[in-house]
Amino acid sequence: MFTNPEQFANATKALFEFQLETFNTLTSKTVQGVEQVIALNMSTAKSHLADGLAAGKEISQAGDAKAAMQAAAEKIQPGVASAAAYNQQLGDIIAEIRQEFTRAADAHVAEAKSNLSALIYDVTKNVRPGSENAVQIVKTAIDNAFAGYEQVTKATKQAVQAVETEIAKANAMVTPAAKASAKK
CA angle 30, 32, 33 (to 5 degrees): 65
> Cα 151 from chain centroid?
19
CB atoms within 10 A of CB 85: 15
Answer yes or no: is pLDDT of 2 > 70. Answer: no
For residue 35, the model assigns a pLDDT of 92
Q: How many domains does the chain have?
A: 1
Q: Enter the pTM of the model.
A: 0.60
25-72 residue pLDDT tens: 888 888 888 899 899 999 999 998 998 898 889 888 888 888 888 888
pLDDT of residue 1: 44
In angstroms, the CA 42 to CA 86 distance is: 11
> Which range marks the domain in which residue 38 is found?
5-183
> In angstroms, how far is CA 83 from the centroid of its own chain?
21
